Amino acid sequence: MIEENVSLLQRFIRWRENNIKEKQFILMLSFMVGVLTAFAALILKFFIHTVKDFLTDNFDTTEANYLYLVYPVIGIFLCSLFVRYVVKDDISHGVTKILYAISRRQGRIKRHNMWSSTIGSAITIGFGGSVGAEAPIVLTGSAIGSNLGSLFKMEHRTLMLLVGCGAAGAIGGIFKAPIAGLVFTLEVLMLDLTMSSLLPLLISAVTAATISYIMTGTEAMFKFHLDQAFEMERVPYVILLGIICGLVSLYFTRAINSIEGVFGQLNTPLKKLALGGVMLSVLIFLFPPLYGEGYDTIELLLNGTNNADWDTVMNNSLFYGYGNLLLVYLLLIVLLKVFATSATNGGGGCGGLFAPSLYLGCIAGFVFSHFSNDLKVFSYLPEKNFALMGMAGVMSGVMHAPLTGVFLIAELTGGYDLFLPLMIVSVSAYLTIIVFEPHSIYSMRLAKKGELLTHNKDRSVLTLMTMDNVVERDFKIVHPEMDLGELVKTISTSQRNIFPVTDNNGGLLGVVILDDIRNIMFRQELYHRFKVSKLMTSVPGKLCDTDSMEKVMRVFDETQAWNLPVVDADGKYLGFVSKSKIFNSYRQVLVHFSED
């Protein structure tokens, strides 16, 4: 049966190659990716809301609920069991995995990512994990695109485009935001925008968003009604909010990395579960708005009109009834949200950072405007407007994606009347954080390893090249105890003019250069007088087989060498890299990478 299916697929591929042009087939695949990704997003949202409603519907809003101490631990525990015994692979850091697949795996993403992160995040968030569902669904969509392309034997450039189509469809489907899906793919995943890539990305994003509209209605994800139009005299306050959002983004980014570092030092899943579970359950018990994605809180702050409405954010908590502590309560949430998010992922849960960044931005914008209005520092600042702008600001800062922040918030809320202030706050936040952090929270891990594909085409080509492609291994090896006669015999069988000298364990000691011994190599009376140890010279520099190509080029520039040896982590000789080989490989990758 399997052989028949394989044969049928092969016949279809041959038929397609003969009857459907490549560009047309890519458009068909992008449509399929949009459809599949939209349904994946809808299924994920359905499971999250079903689990959450089942667990929390009967909670008393006037007092603390001790089940908040239990649910998050159960969620993390179930997710960690699912990952360890069913998936048997790491499914965290979804967007980072996509960036890695684009830069190092030629757009190939593992099959299980089409479903594993969706199930893991549904369990985690439904039981209270303080993370978002968007990064998991983006990974799911990208995995669908990658594996659909692999199924039909598409080349790796097309796979990378389909990965982007999956991401665009995921954002378009889960947020009903097709433009944001397209812009996210270009800004965060850093795919080059060409005429051949624009149309497939648009098809996937629009298809997914359309299906979401059909299935869930045409209303924006967050209901937002503009009560007060934006006035130009508020521009300075919007810029100030952008700077504050940039600093909140910086705090969020660095705190996430620091706390994840702590979890990374724990050597057993049980220790991670214990620390993450205790942190998360205590934080949610004290601050119930930290439960799940936090979209209820965003809805409340965007639609509340007075203190009585806003005070309901303290329902289900020990703070219920203390309306005078509202700003203190919200500021504590801003400070502690990062701990809840890190505890969720570090403890064994699965989730992303989209929702936390929107959540923090909304609260930061609300607190800024409400505090200003209470003290009458500035003229009146509409809280709901500034809460909306804060969402764009923090998202732009965390993701280093100001356009994504602008279009996503506008499409999420229908707040197109605030387009100008959304742009101002997003740019201000982005300019603030890049002073301190040159890379987004998604890309910084890969950037440190030199594995990040960027819009800089030179760096992108170097990233796509690997050491294995440029190492030359046909150099004849000699040893220090060999005499000149033995060396000449080796030279007679080689077409190279460099001879690496190694010890008995394969460690590189130096090199013999043919030009250095040319004047004595034909004097037979000297054959037993000189040893290789006297004739060899040291190398100007060494390369490691794990070095990035960007580092390789930097070493070549520093040493001004034309050939450099490559060694492994133990110093054992592996081969040589030459500038001519690098230039040839660079040219081949550049031509392939740039084809439109």
Q: What tens-digit pLDDT sequence spans the chain (596 residues)?
A: 555 555 787 888 788 777 888 888 989 999 999 999 999 999 999 999 999 988 888 777 677 778 888 999 999 999 999 998 898 887 877 677 777 777 666 678 888 889 999 999 999 999 999 998 888 999 999 999 999 988 888 887 788 889 999 999 999 999 998 999 999 888 887 666 666 778 999 999 999 999 999 998 888 788 777 777 788 888 999 999 999 999 999 999 999 989 988 998 888 889 999 999 999 999 999 999 999 888 989 988 988 878 888 888 888 778 887 778 889 999 999 999 999 999 999 998 898 888 999 999 999 999 999 998 888 777 788 888 999 999 999 999 999 989 999 999 988 887 678 889 999 999 999 999 999 988 888 777 665 554 444 444 445 545 555 666 778 888 888 888 888 888 888 888 888 888 989 988 888 888 888 888 888 877 887 878 888 888 888 888 888 887 777 778 788 788 888 888 888 888 888 888 887 777 766 555 555 544 44
Note the pLDDT of residue 226: 78
Strand partners, 575: 566
Listed by start position, the domains of the chain span 2-216, 232-454, 459-594
CATH placement of domain 2-216: 1.10.3080.10
Across 82-169, the runs of DSSP E, i.e. the strands, are none
What letter would DSSP give residue 594?
H
What whole-number distance in Å separates Cα of residue 553 and Cα of residue 555?
Answer: 5
Contacts of 12 (CB under 8 A, 6+ apart): none
CB of 346 closer than 8 Å to CB of 275? yes
**Token pair belonging to 62:** 């006037």
**Token pair belonging to 431:** 């300019």
Strand partners, 472: 576
What are the C-alpha distances in Å from 128 to residues 160, 182, 241?
34, 30, 30
Residue 196, burial from CB neighbour count under 10 angstroms (0-12, 13-18, 19+): middle
CB of 441 closer than 8 Å to CB of 253? yes
**Token pair belonging to 184:** 């996210």
What whole-number distance in Å separates Cα of residue 455 and Cα of residue 446?
Answer: 15
Contacts of 402 (CB under 8 A, 6+ apart): 187, 396, 423, 426, 427, 429, 430
What whole-number distance in Å separates Cα of residue 222 and Cα of residue 309?
Answer: 17
At position 491, the amino acid (one-letter code) is I
How do strand 498-502 and strand 573-578 relate by DSSP bridges? unpaired
Note the pLDDT of residue 230: 82
Contacts of 185 (CB under 8 A, 6+ apart): 164, 165, 167, 168, 171, 191, 201
Task: Quote the distance between the C-alpha of residue 515 and its chain's center.
Answer: 50
How do strand 508-513 and strand 563-567 relate by DSSP bridges? unpaired
Asked if 232-454 and 459-594 have one fold, the answer is no
**Token pair belonging to 374:** 């209470």
What whole-number distance in Å separates Cα of residue 374 and Cα of residue 443?
Answer: 39
CATH placement of domain 232-454: 1.10.3080.10
CB of 141 closer than 8 Å to CB of 103? no
Note the pLDDT of residue 595: 47
What whole-number distance in Å separates Cα of residue 307 and Cα of residue 330?
Answer: 13
What whole-number distance in Å separates Cα of residue 218 and Cα of residue 410?
Answer: 15
CATH placement of domain 459-594: 3.10.580.10
End-to-end C-alpha distance for the chain, whole angstroms: 39
What whole-number distance in Å separates Cα of residue 546 and Cα of residue 537?
Answer: 25
Note the pLDDT of residue 585: 64
CB neighbours of residue 140 within 10 Å: 31
Residue 89, burial from CB neighbour count under 10 angstroms (0-12, 13-18, 19+): exposed
CB of 429 closer than 8 Å to CB of 394? yes
CB of 87 closer than 8 Å to CB of 95? no
What whole-number distance in Å separates Cα of residue 229 and Cα of residue 141?
Answer: 37
Q: What are phi and psi of 132, to 5 degrees?
A: -110, 160
Contacts of 371 (CB under 8 A, 6+ apart): 327, 377
Which alpha helices (H) appear in 152-191, and where do they start and end? Answer: 156-175, 178-187
Report the candidate in 212, 172, 214, 195 with the shortest Cα–Cα distance to residue 27. 195
Note the pLDDT of residue 435: 93
Note the pLDDT of residue 197: 76
Contacts of 532 (CB under 8 A, 6+ apart): 478, 479, 480, 481, 482, 483, 484, 487, 501, 512
Note the pLDDT of residue 194: 67
What whole-number distance in Å separates Cα of residue 101 and Cα of residue 110?
Answer: 9
Which alpha helices (H) appear in 57-93, and where do they start and end? Answer: 71-82
Strand arrangement, sheet containing 543-544: 543-544, 563-567, 573-578
Report the candidate in 403, 371, 369, 400 with the shortest Cα–Cα distance to residue 386. 369
The answer, as to whether pTM is greater than 0.85, is no
Note the pLDDT of residue 466: 65
What letter would DSSP give residue 536?
-
What letter would DSSP give residue 313?
G
